[in-house]
Amino acid sequence: MEEPSTTTTSSSSSSSSALSTTLSNSIQALGRGFDVTSDIRLLYCKGAPGSRLIQIDENHTRDLVISEGGGGIVLPNVSIDIEYSPGKSFRDSTPVCTFHEMAEFFNMNSSISGDIPLGSFNSMFNFTGSWPVDAAATKTLAMDGYFIPLFKVRLAKLSLVLHDEIKRAVPYSWDPSSLASFIENFGTHIITSATVGGRDVVYVKQHQSSLLSALEIEKYVQDIGDKRFLDLENQPSGDPFKYNEKASLCWIFPFHFLYLYSFRYYNTSLCFDVTVIFRRRGGDDLVQSHAKWVETVHLAPDVINMTFSPIVSLLKESAGIKHLARAIDLYLKYKPPIEELQYFLEFQIPRVWAPEQSNLPGYQRKEPVCQSLQFSLMGPKLYVSSDQITVGRKPVTGLRLCLEGSKQNRLAIHLQHLVSLPKILQPHWDAHMAIGAPKWHGPEEQDSRWFEPIKWKNFSHVSTAPIEHNETYIGDLSGVHIVTGAQLGVWEFGAKSVLHLKLLFSKVPGCTIRRSVWDHKPTNTSQLNSVSSSSSNERNSDDKKADSSSQIGKLTKIIDLTEMSKGPQDVPGHWLVTGAKLGVEKGKIVLRVKYSLLNY
């Protein structure tokens, strides 16, 4: 008869020990820094245990006695500035909502304002972290869960005060290196509370291709939740579902399922395209039954929620608050890897297109004489501007094709560049640095291997040869060559004229290429660029306007006018243009760009 008693005592002792350890660690986390782009875990707290960013009364302490459900746990020497309270189990669900509505709901639970998706939200729904991409692919989101908040520990002080050394660590100016170091060392927010217990949640993600209505999704989520949390005794013993944080079940409506690790599941035979993810935090991961899992939460509790306060909210009198606030806002919005944050911040400089709109030839009274392209016997002519567009020592981040002139029938190329030189490039590329003369590179005129017809073989072609600096290699220690200018030109071979591209390359000594990619997709924020549309208002004749509009329509079907650029939304956010090429895709002249990351 003593053996069961011994087992029970051992189990109770194990439960108390686990709860005591988790509560103690949670108390040590209060007041510490945290990067909210991470999932909510004690592991991701900044600094050593107890290394708080704020002032807490450590001189006046007491023993914290956890009696209700805690088995008489005593936590010694707990500051009087820290409180605890027991919780009650509950089931909670959200209505079917949009991507940003759900992100705002997650933020609200953590006392964070706004709807920028943060770490916990992205982790639970298996999002990439690039919110424009994730939001565009998501139709609706919903969740239903069972929560067991055993205890909550929190800071009792209403007004938090940072330690003086934290205030002194705030950079006084826009210094990307110091700002990145501050965020890496101290995080973005301060932990103000932690809830310990367990949670078992169903996360539902409806993709854009799904044909289900919001009402159908709502009923579907409720059915899944009811079956999981209410009909416990009716679940078959051979339930194939297994749950843990590393391997989540992905269930495609209505009867298809698989284990989802790091890949997305597509079911081409169904049009529902709804992903259901089961996740647990706390308790025994190996227990399949929800009812039995509930009994294990005391044995292995975990932190299931945290609340935060922004670090910048405690820096109202600091001279550098605006710079730190901007750096944190950019970091939370675009989420570059923390090791790339300095370079990301270096490139947060305004970008403009060259040439400036007011200086475009299209705004001159007299149209320049240009060579032209003919696509068919009766089709419109496309004139080509051969102006050399250069930007000096300013990093180029994008290219685009444009239609200029009062008739918008003149093709030109524009460059997007930073308005000033990033600080990290100044030792390599400042005005006083000798870098040698920039050099133009283009395709060979007689190399017809790269000539592709735009429509008909007997009419205009495009040279699709990639334009790169042949002397630049990944890891080349002598320096790299980046694009600082561009020019379009036309070779005449009778009716078979050929459009080609030249690029101006400038050397950046002391840097190497880390990685390069050819981007064949326009940026998410690209728009059609018809820079001189307002100039057509100068024409007073209605007939001429109609004729011009018809011609413009024909030319836009031949020219791809979307911007090709990489900005802060393209992780890690500090790409430079190191090559480009023209192409022909589906009867359109297109521009494709090579981007590179540098080692500075």
Whether the predicted pLDDT of 508 surpasses 60: yes
The token duo for 487 is 């020019």
Compute the average pLDDT of residues 318-335.
Answer: 95
Longest dimension (CA), the chain: 106
What's the confidence (pLDDT) of residue 358?
62
Instruction: Provide the β-strand partners of residue 277.
Output: 203, 250
Asked whether 401 and 591 are in contact (CB, 8 A), the reply is: yes
Q: How confident is the model at residue 264 (pLDDT cuts 50, 70, 90)?
A: very low
What pLDDT, in 10s, does the model give residues 376-414? 777 788 999 999 999 999 999 999 999 998 889 999 999
> Count of CB atoms within 10 A of residue 278's CB?
22
Q: Rounded to whole angstroms, how far apart are CA atoms 282 and 177?
A: 38
The phi and psi torsions of 238 (rounded to 5 degrees) equal -90, 30
Which of 302, 348, 277 minimizes the C-alpha distance to 194?
302
What pLDDT, in 10s, does the model give residues 346-355? 999 999 999 9
Q: At 554, is the secondary structure helix, strand, or coil?
A: helix
The phi and psi torsions of 25 (rounded to 5 degrees) equal -65, -35
Compute the average pLDDT of residues 519-535.
Answer: 49
* Helices vs. strands in the chain: H and E counts, helices first: 12, 27
What's the confidence (pLDDT) of residue 538?
39
What's the confidence (pLDDT) of residue 367?
67
Residue type, 461: H
Q: Vertex 579, ends 573 and 583: CA angle to 5°?
A: 110
Q: At 7, is the secondary structure helix, strand, or coil?
A: helix
Q: What is the DSSP letter of 450?
A: G
Return left, alpha or beta for 113; rule: phi > 0 is left, psi -120 to 50 is alpha, else beta: beta
Asked whether 597 and 515 are in contact (CB, 8 A), the reply is: yes
Q: What is the 3-state secondary structure (H, E, C) of 71-92?
A: CCEEEEEEECCEEEEECCCEEE
Which position has the token pair 């079907």? 557
What pLDDT, in 10s, does the model give residues 297-311? 999 999 999 999 999
Asked whether 465 and 450 are in contact (CB, 8 A), the reply is: yes
Residue type, 148: I
Asked whether 576 and 565 are in contact (CB, 8 A), the reply is: no
Which position has the token pair 């080692």? 599
Q: How confident is the model at residue 135 (pLDDT cuts 50, 70, 90)?
A: very high
Q: Among 440-444, 475-479, 515-519, whose mean pLDDT is lowest?
A: 475-479
What pLDDT, in 10s, does the model give residues 451-482? 999 888 878 999 999 999 976 555 556 799 99
Q: How confident is the model at residue 529 (pLDDT cuts 50, 70, 90)?
A: very low
What's the confidence (pLDDT) of residue 379?
74
Q: Rounded to whole angstroms, how far apart are CA atoms 437 and 94?
A: 62
**Best mean pLDDT range from 173-177, 233-237, 441-445:** 173-177
> Count of CB atoms within 10 A of residue 188's CB?
25
Tell me the average pLDDT of the chain: 85
Asked whether 305 and 196 are in contact (CB, 8 A), the reply is: no
Which of 509, 506, 514, 515 minimizes the C-alpha distance to 483?
506
CA 269 to chain centre: 31
pLDDT > 90 fraction of the chain, expressed in percent and rounded = 67
What's the confidence (pLDDT) of residue 126?
95
Whether the predicted pLDDT of 45 surpasses 50: yes
Q: What is the DSSP letter of 129?
A: S
Q: Among 152-156, 237-241, 353-357, 589-593, whose mean pLDDT is lowest?
A: 237-241
Q: How confident is the model at residue 534 (pLDDT cuts 50, 70, 90)?
A: very low
Asked whether 420 and 580 are in contact (CB, 8 A), the reply is: no
